[in-house]
């Protein structure tokens, strides 16, 4: 990857991923694309560490969101070593409880009780989906699911979609991650908060993140550290009888190469797979201009979902 490719990656982030969700990040990413000093710092890093999301979250963690491209440039010029070191320590592990509202209608198709296994679970916030309350806004009116006196997840449904009457019964939950995050650790909390983009959804996202982390800390799931393809067979073999296993993959399989995706498919043969991944990762649907993910169950595409949750469009 040369400097032009990297600049193009930052422009794509500005134009597609952040344009609506975070105009401030879109402007900063556009400035990075024109800034040789910042591009050189990134080109010195391993490829996986050059992502816009990672650079911007590290800047935010270390000194707040830069006001503009000039301030971003000055901070990199003055503090490049510290920024580089922090980028090397951290990974983008955004864990967004609002994604649960996109998963629920698909999960309702599986008969419970469920044993939920999430691959790439980060801090495990999606494994708590039965403990959240949901408020779906549909053309026919509001549809509420689950308890309404705690964390509430809002979701707009653009089209006809069967919505569940209740949350699923989850009797066992396991999270696999090569770097599982502890929801009770203050450093984890600070990093997950830094990963929330400034923009129209910022305050609502933080208002969900904090209680979701508290819930996950109060109800720890079984945590497995390691590569998901290697760990899955052992985890699936160890699940208790009497519950239907469902493997959940949300914004994770996209990080796997073709061989690892084939390994995932082999490891999950005969088991329900609920996925919320970019088009082409699990199911082949047309790439989406709004960067939405496809929610699928057992390879059947069901609906498109906003990447950070909040809106679904049935296919
Ligand atoms: C973007 S986060 C998604 C977190 C959560 N699934 C969600 O949607 O809110 C992706 C997670 O996948 C994990 N991950 C990526 N590749 C992995 C692998 N091969 N094995 C285990 N975990 C992996 C990362 O560590 C990270 O926590």
Which strands make up the sheet holding 244-250, listed edge to edge?
141-145, 133-138, 152-157, 311-314, 300-305, 293-297, 272-277, 244-250, 114-119, 170-177, 222-225
Predicted local confidence at residue 283, as pLDDT: 93
223 lines ligand 1 (CB under 6 A): no
**Does residue 295 lie in a domain region?**
yes
- Do residue 70 and residue 131 come from a single domain? no
Alpha carbon of 138 to ligand 1 centroid (Å): 31
- Do residue 110 and residue 76 come from a single domain? no
216 lines ligand 1 (CB under 6 A): no
- Do residue 77 and residue 152 come from a single domain? no
99 lines ligand 1 (CB under 6 A): yes
Name the residue range of residue 140's domain: 99-314
- Do residue 42 and residue 107 come from a single domain? no
- Do residue 85 and residue 104 come from a single domain? no
- Do residue 57 and residue 144 come from a single domain? no
95 lines ligand 1 (CB under 6 A): yes
Q: Report the domain count for the chain.
A: 2
Predicted local confidence at residue 1, as pLDDT: 73
Q: For all residues of the chain together, what is the average pLDDT?
A: 96
- Do residue 28 and residue 149 come from a single domain? no
Predicted local confidence at residue 309, as pLDDT: 92
Q: Rounded to 5 degrees, what are φ and ψ at 43?
A: -70, -20
255 lines ligand 1 (CB under 6 A): yes
| Nearest to 255, CA basis, from 30, 41, 94 | 94
**Does residue 265 lie in a domain region?**
yes
| Nearest to 133, CA basis, from 117, 112, 148 | 148
**What is the enclosing helix (H) or strand (E) of 305?**
strand 300-305
**Does residue 31 lie in a domain region?**
yes
pLDDT in tens, 81-113: 999 999 999 999 999 999 999 999 999 999 999
Task: Please report where in the chains the tokens 């005969």 appear, as a residue.
Answer: 270
Alpha carbon of 119 to ligand 1 centroid (Å): 7
Residues whose CB falls within 8 Å of the CB of residue 259, separated by 6 or more in sequence, listed in order: none
Residues 283-311 have a mean pLDDT of: 91
CA distance 54 to 153: 26
**Does residue 94 lie in a domain region?**
no
Check: pTM over 0.85? Answer yes or no. yes
Predicted local confidence at residue 231, as pLDDT: 98
Give Cα separations from 163 to 91, 167, 314 (angstroms): 34, 10, 11
Domain termination site, one of 66, 89, 112: 89
Domain termination site, one of 55, 89, 123: 89
CA distance 279 to 295: 9
- Do residue 265 and residue 135 come from a single domain? yes
CA distance 129 to 137: 18
Alpha carbon of 244 to ligand 1 centroid (Å): 23
**Does residue 257 lie in a domain region?**
yes
The answer, yes or no, to whether residue 11 has pLDDT greater than 80, is: yes
- Do residue 210 and residue 68 come from a single domain? no
Residue nearest to atom 26 of ligand 1 (CA): 93
């Amino acid at each position: 990857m040369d400097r032009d490719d990297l600049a193009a990656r930052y422009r794509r982030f500005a134009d597609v991923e952040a344009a609506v969700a975070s105009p401030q990040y879109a402007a900063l990413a556009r400035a990075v694309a024109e800034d040789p000093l910042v591009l050189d710092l990134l080109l010195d890093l391993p490829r996986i560490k050059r992502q816009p999301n990672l650079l911007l979250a590290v800047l935010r963690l270390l000194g707040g969101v830069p006001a503009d491209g000039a301030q971003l440039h000055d901070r990199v010029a003055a503090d490049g070593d510290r920024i580089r070191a922090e980028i090397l320590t951290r990974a983008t592990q955004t864990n967004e409880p609002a994604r649960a509202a996109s998963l629920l209608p698909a999960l309702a198709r599986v008969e419970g009780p469920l044993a939920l296994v999430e691959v790439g679970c980060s801090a495990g916030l999606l494994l708590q989906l039965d403990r959240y309350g949901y408020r779906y806004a549909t053309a026919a009116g509001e549809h509420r699911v689950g308890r309404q006196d705690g964390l509430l997840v809002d979701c707009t449904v653009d089209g006809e979609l069967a919505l569940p009457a209740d949350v699923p019964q989850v009797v066992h939950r396991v999270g696999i991650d090569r770097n599982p995050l502890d929801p009770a650790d203050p450093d984890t909390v600070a990093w997950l908060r830094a990963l929330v983009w400034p923009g129209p959804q910022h305050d609502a996202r933080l208002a969900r993140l904090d209680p979701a982390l508290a819930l996950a800390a109060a109800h720890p799931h079984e945590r497995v550290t390691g590569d998901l393809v290697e760990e899955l067979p052992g985890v699936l073999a160890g699940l208790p009888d009497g519950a239907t296993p469902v493997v959940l993959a949300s914004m994770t399989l996209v990080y796997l190469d073709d061989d690892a995706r084939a390994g995932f498919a082999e490891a999950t043969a005969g088991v329900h797979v609920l996925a919320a991944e970019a088009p082409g990762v699990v199911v082949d649907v047309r790439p989406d201009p709004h960067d939405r993910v496809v929610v699928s169950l057992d390879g059947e595409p069901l609906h498109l979902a906003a990447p950070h949750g909040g809106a679904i469009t049935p296919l």
